[in-house]
Amino acid sequence: MSRISREVVFVDGVRTPFGKAGSMYAETRADDLVVNCIRELMRRHPELPADRVDEVAIAATTQTGDQGLTIGRTAALLAGLPRSVPGYAIDRMCAGAMTAVTNVAAGIAFGAYDVAVAGGVEHMGHHPMGDGVDPNPRILAEKLVDPSALVMGSTAENLHDRFPAITKDRADSFAVLSQERVAAAYAHGIIQESLVSVATRSTELGWGLATADEPPRPGTTKETLAALKTPFRPHGRVTPGNAAGLNDGATAALVAAESTARELGLPVAMRLVSFAFAGVDPELMGVGPIPATEKALRSAGLTIDDLGAFEINEAFAVQVLAFLDHFGISSDDERVNPYGGAIALGHPLASSGVRLMIHLARSFREHPEVRYGLTTMCIGLGMGGSVIWENPHHHDAAPTASGTTASATTASSTTASGTTASGTGAAQ
């Protein structure tokens, strides 16, 4: 029996405000954070009957305590979805939510699902990175990895060693830009659009309401960053100012077959083109997005010049700069993280993949001239993940009468003047 792969779309995504680890969410359960997101998705889309949700895939890096017990299933029950809706948990460290999306997308394309919820949560205040893990001693004893591979900040220092042109000054400049862009995005009401308010509790202060991200530091300058200590190496280059912090937060997204979205009247924010994950030397974890993106581009029949929007997770500034240098993209390119990134907003590990997708969907809406965009991130233990999306608002991206889309191998775009520009990147 032959099967026809279906188009998969990103319908919508929401997230909690991100908090500093153990701060405003210190007495809030991790699973309640993601439950808030699932409930908000369903509230925003009354056109979606709850019993049409076929799967709930939720990621967490530390799957114990309030992030354990097959969190996808328990979150579905707590969110009030019908008991007939199954769920499961995922762990691919920082790319947990990204993997949740690609997993359910593959199921949708195959025909196993029509609609799914995918997301992630990380409460680093309750579950510090590496808490309770027991690495097999052979990993180090047999030199399968360098010891620095188990400390993410050390892998970032290793990346500075590998690429000496990426100086601390460049990393700090990029960090300042991230802070400035987040401040501008807040000023224009862009980030608030996707946030889910969360009731918080403090034994000392009583009840509160989280309505905005806690980590951003408006007014950050290179001078203030230059004075920060380098915790991973004496006289190093990685500081708390040019890296994402330790954070708490959750995300969730609706992913669907495009035909089902049309049937139910669900919006189509992005259309999935391709995705890929790749492995690299664990001690150089930050270069993972490079081979992952190259694999995803090959799969799509595209080149880097066909991409007009980039959302790159800012685990460390050096990791983003290595990616941009490799592909010949300026570090201040307006197509890259236009609303800022994790250095300012925070990076609650397994939740961040969907946060990238939320920002890319907003870029697509604001820029119909852009046809293809990328969400990409480095992943602990030496991996990278990349997802290429198509902008449904682009004039060449509309489905044909048969329900399929124009070929993803078209490598040119039309400029505002009506002429064709191919391979320039800036015209897209």
Mind listing the pLDDT tens digit for each residue in 286-313? 999 999 999 999 999 999 999 999 999 9
- 237 CB-side CA count, 13 A: 24
C-alpha 45: how far from chain center? 22
Cβ burial, residue 70 (10 Å; 0-12/13-18/19+): middle
Question: Is residue 32 within 8 Å of residue 131, measured between CB atoms?
Answer: no
Residue 399: the pLDDT is 55
Look up 37 and say whether it is catalytic: no
Token digits for 156? 């970032």
Which helix H or strand E contains 183, and what residues bound it? helix 168-187
Query: What span, in angstroms and rounded, lies between the C-alpha atoms of 300 and 386?
Result: 12
Query: What span, in angstroms and rounded, lies between the C-alpha atoms of 355 and 119?
Result: 9
Q: Which residue has the tokens 């293809």?
A: 372
Confidence grade of residue 423 (pLDDT, cut at 50, 70, 90): very low
Question: Is residue 6 within 8 Å of residue 220, measured between CB atoms?
Answer: no
Which helix H or strand E contains 162, and what residues bound it? helix 152-162
Confidence grade of residue 132 (pLDDT, cut at 50, 70, 90): confident
Token digits for 196? 């889910």
Residue 402: the pLDDT is 35
DSSP state of 426: T
Look up 94 and say whether it is catalytic: yes
Look up 395 and say whether it is catalytic: no
Task: Average the pLDDT over each of 77-86, 145-154, 340-349 and give the range with the smallest value.
Answer: 145-154
Q: Is the pLDDT of residue 403 over 50?
A: no
Residue 143: the pLDDT is 85
Confidence grade of residue 395 (pLDDT, cut at 50, 70, 90): confident
Q: Is the pLDDT of residue 54 over 50?
A: yes
Beta strand segments in 124-214, E: 198-202, 206-210
Choice among 123, 126, 367, 378 that is catalytic: 378
Q: Is the pLDDT of residue 147 over 50?
A: yes
**Which residue from 297, 290, 310 is spatially nearest to 375, judged by alpha carbons?**
310
Predicted structure pTM score = 0.92
Helices (H), 10-150: 30-44, 71-78, 96-110, 138-141
Question: Is residue 220 within 8 Å of residue 228, measured between CB atoms?
Answer: no
**Which residue from 192, 194, 240 is spatially nearest to 217, judged by alpha carbons?**
240
Beta strand segments in 80-158, E: 87-90, 115-123
Residue 4: the pLDDT is 81
Cβ neighbour number for residue 292 with a 10 Å cutoff = 28
DSSP state of 243: B
DSSP 341-408: -HHHH---GGGHHHHHHHHHHHHHHH-TT--EEEEEEEETTTEEEEEEEE-TTSTT-S--TTSPPSPT
Region 246-259 average pLDDT: 98
SS3 121: strand
Residue 406: the pLDDT is 39
Chain-wide mean pLDDT for the chain? Answer: 92
The fourth-level CATH superfamily of domain 8-124+145-391 is Thiolase/Chalcone synthase (3.40.47.10)
**Which residue from 155, 218, 159 is spatially nearest to 184, judged by alpha carbons?**
218
Q: Is the pLDDT of residue 407 over 70?
A: no
Q: How far is CA 175 from CA 221, 229, 316, 329, in A?
A: 9, 15, 9, 17
Confidence grade of residue 3 (pLDDT, cut at 50, 70, 90): confident
Token digits for 13? 């995504």
Per-residue pLDDT tens for 202-226? 999 899 999 999 999 999 999 999 9
Tabulate helix, strand, coil % of the chain (nearest 5).
Answer: 35, 20, 40
Report the DSSP beta bridge partners of residue 307. Answer: 372
Q: How far is CA 140 from CA 61, 145, 224, 254, in A?
A: 21, 6, 37, 40
Confidence grade of residue 398 (pLDDT, cut at 50, 70, 90): low
Share of the chain above pLDDT 90, in %: 88
Choice among 126, 160, 347, 393 that is catalytic: 347
Residue 306: the pLDDT is 98
